[in-house]
Amino acid sequence: MLLMSTLTQDHDAIPGNAGLSYKQHPPEGEWDAIAIGSGIGALAAAALLAERAGKRVLVLERHYTAGGFTHVFHRPGYEWDVGVHYIGQMGAGSPIRALFDEITEGRLKWNAMPEVYDRIRIADRSYDFVSGAERFTQRMQEYFPQEGAAIRRYVAQVRDAAGAGSLFFAEKAIPAALARVAGPLMRRRFLSYARRTTAETLAGLTANRELIAVLTGQWGDYGLPPGQSSFGMHAVIAEHYLEGAFYPVGGASRIAASIAPAIERAGGRILVGAEVEQILLDARSRATGVRMADGRELHAPLILSDAGAWNTYARLLPPNAPGRAQALAEIERIPVSMAHLSLYVGLRRDPGEPEFGDTNLWIYPSADHDANLARYAADPEQPFPGMFISFPSAKDPDFARRHPGRATIEVVTLAPYGWFERWADTRWKRRGEDYDALKQRLAERLRAELERHVPAVRGKIDHCELSTPLSTRQFANYHQGQIYGPAATPERFRARALSPRTPIPNLYLTGADAAVLGVAGALSGGALAASAVLRRNVMAGR
């Protein structure tokens, strides 16, 4: 059965999901802060402000469920993650792990993926990404024996660039006056990497095109091929997974559900179905509250926006807000990242039958990632420029308890928003026959690719459902259905507006756009926002 509906259904309370209905539980009383959106960036900032400073934070989420891209959706017998496939740096001793442990108060458990967490397939050739920098280096040297020195220099540069990122991102949380003085020095080292493309940097290390294609085989994790992406972005992601990957036990919905108690204990609340229409400013242009889509006004002396930088400056702030035009111009100079398609697959699995897979698969038609993408963007009938196949049920030791006899797979690829734009103003589930036909065609192609690369699924597929860029637009409020907000080009890292600091007193950005994309990136955005508000580095511990 091929169901062609989009991501989610509008129902109120889903077991295990955080958040109460805004309609049924209208907010009353006083709030120390209001967070717009409930992605990991908002939840992390809210929990840190609650735990470190006792602040009552009202989290307002327009979707029917909390978590932003960490939310899950359900169909009878199944559940799928929308934006969480694997997360790095969750091993003991990692600062990201410590931060997660703090805001979830240790409730969230992490399951390590197998030692080979990513497998890169280029045409008929296959390369494994093994966890651990040493083992990774060794494995790459086994594949490319002539390239040992280049591989070692590559790993060293990835580590150096990602290490320099700490100071670069910390600069975003220090007071503006201090940033004017110390900022250039704090940013310099990371920018020396980030201003070059990934392709330029790798070309300086090796001329072996196959090796370059393998080392950049995770480019889908940041949505831009090597010729366009910043090496700073590449390094942050490559380093993120270098020691291996993890998955939240109980699925991605456990993330929001595990953070909610810390927010609620301080008197805060998470409300869903709560769309913010505008940020309210007083006569002195300070943020003082929000106006909801239903006209209600809510007030707080501190506003955190997790709705994305573009939404915040273009849609939520009044046009005459000071500094808005300049920040927006800077954000709009950066292209938005490409949109994506996700095929959500549900399978029947007999008792004792092995999993359909566990290692993530990255499938590429050839070693030239940039050319593959350009060809496909110009003609949708060309091969997918990269496909990511993930086996979420196999990563979650608790899945079989919740959904016995079932398994899930997700197949993700990119797709230009322009292919779908003409249906942007149609209604969900009523977009028309031509739209349904395009979806059907894309879903069938993705399904065929899945059956080709994972033959064990043949005859086992019970449910298949495609999300398009219009789903991302509708349910996650990314205006061009983009997968990651601003594209990870070199220019993205020069933009000063992508920071928790804003020109509006009492307004802070949080989430991926305040730091960098990815769950850990958006979490760091939350920590930076909390640090900027509290004027102390929350990452340094209590």
Ligand X SMILES: Cc1cc2nc3c(=O)[nH]c(=O)nc-3n(C[C@H](O)[C@H](O)[C@H](O)COP(=O)(O)OP(=O)(O)OC[C@H]3O[C@@H](n4cnc5c(N)ncnc54)[C@H](O)[C@@H]3O)c2cc1C
Q: Which of residues 162-181 bind ligand X (CB under 6 A)?
A: none
By CB under 6 A, the residues from 471 to 490 that bind ligand X are 476-477, 483-484
Q: How far is the CB of 224 from ligand X (least distance, A)?
A: 14
Please give the residues from 333 up to 362 whose contact with ligand X meets the rule CB under 6 A: 340, 342
Are 388 and 220 in contact, with CB atoms under 8 Å apart?
yes
User: Per rule CB under 6 A, is residue 40 in the interface with ligand X?
Assistant: yes
> Could you say which of 62, 172, 196, 403 contacts ligand X (CB under 6 A)?
62
Angle (CA) 162-134-248 rounded to 5° is 65
Q: Pick between residue 250 and residue 367 the one whose CB is nearest to ligand X.
A: 250
Q: Cα torsion for 235, 236, 242, 244, to the nearest 10°?
A: -150
Q: What's the min distance (Å) between Cβ of 274 and ligand X? A: 6
Place of tokens 């707080």: 300
Nearest distance from C-beta of residue 334 to ligand X, angstroms: 16
38 is a contact residue toward ligand X (CB under 6 A) = yes
Q: Which of 150, 519, 529, 538 forms a contact with ligand X (CB under 6 A)? A: 519
Q: Quote the least distance from Cβ 88 to ligand X, whole Å.
A: 8
Give CA separation, 128 vs 206, 207, 405, in Å: 20, 21, 29
CB 367, CB 213: distance < 8 Å: yes
Q: In this structure, what is the dihedral angle of CA atoms 287, 293, 297, 300, given to the nearest 10 degrees? A: -40
d(CA 532, CA 535) in angstroms, rounded, equals 5
- Minimum distance from CB of 270 to ligand X (Å)? 11
- Touching ligand X, residues 17-36 (CB under 6 A): 36
DSSP state letters, 25-88: S---S--SEEEES-BHHHHHHHHHHHHHH---EEEEESSSSSBGGG-EEEETTEEEESS-S-EE
Nearer to ligand X, 68 or 490 (CB): 68
Neighbour-count burial of 75, counting CB atoms closer than 10 A to its CB (0-12 exposed, 13-18 middle, 19+ buried): middle
Q: Which is nearer to ligand X, 86 or 193 (CB)?
A: 86
Backbone φ and ψ for 145, nearest 5 degrees, come out as: -60, -25
Out of 14, 32, 51, 61, the residue judged to bind ligand X by CB under 6 A: 61
492 is a site residue for ligand X (CB under 6 A): no
Which C-beta is closer to ligand X: that of 42 or that of 202? 42
How many residues make contact with ligand X (CB under 6 A)?
A: 38
User: 528 with 500: CB under 8 angstroms?
Assistant: yes
Strand order in the sheet with 287-292: 276-281, 287-292, 297-299
CA-derived radius of gyration, the chain:
22
User: Interaction with ligand X in 368-427: which residues (CB under 6 A)?
Assistant: 412
Q: How far is CA 295 from CA 95, 276, 317, in A?
A: 41, 9, 15
Q: Which of 241, 452, 217, 441 is nearest to 341 (CA)?
A: 441
For residue 305, the one-letter residue type is S
Q: Which of 215, 271, 517, 530 binds ligand X (CB under 6 A)?
A: 517
- Binding ligand X (rule: CB under 6 A), the pick from 171, 306, 368, 396 is 306
Instruction: Using the rule CB under 6 A, give the single segment among 58-66, 97-105, 123-131, 458-466 that binds ligand X.
Output: 58-66
Residue closer to ligand X (CB basis): 88 or 137: 88
Q: List, in sequence order, every beta strand (DSSP E) within 147-302.
A: 245-248, 269-272, 276-281, 287-292, 297-299
User: Which one among 224, 512, 530, 539 touches ligand X, defined by CB under 6 A?
Assistant: 512
Binder of ligand X out of 216, 230, 311, 480 (CB under 6 A) = 311
Max alpha carbon distance in the chain (Å)? 67
Check if the beta carbon of residue 317 is closer than 8 Å to that of residue 288.
no
Residue 343's alpha-carbon distances to 82, 360, 424, 426, 443, in angstroms, are 10, 15, 20, 21, 7
Query: Per rule CB under 6 A, is residue 273 in the interface with ligand X?
Result: no
**Window 65-104: contact mask with ligand X (x via CB under 6 A):** ---xxx------------xxxxx-----------------
Chain residues 115-134 in contact with ligand X, contact rule CB under 6 A:
none
Alpha-carbon distance of 164 to 313, in angstroms, equals 29
Among residues 60, 150, 341, 509, the one that binds ligand X under rule CB under 6 A:
60
Of the candidate spans 62-70, 195-203, 211-219, 433-441, the one that interacts with ligand X by CB under 6 A turns out to be 62-70
Give 20's strand partners. 271
Q: Whose Cβ is closer to ligand X: residue 87's or residue 120's?
A: 87
Q: By C-beta, is 61 or 449 nearer to ligand X?
A: 61
Q: Does 270 participate in binding ligand X (rule CB under 6 A)?
A: no
Least separation in angstroms between CB 246 and ligand X: 10
Q: How far is the CB of 520 from ligand X (least distance, A)?
A: 6
List contacts with ligand X (CB under 6 A).
36-42, 60-63, 68-70, 83-87, 275-276, 306-307, 311, 340, 342, 412, 476-477, 483-484, 511-512, 517-520, 522
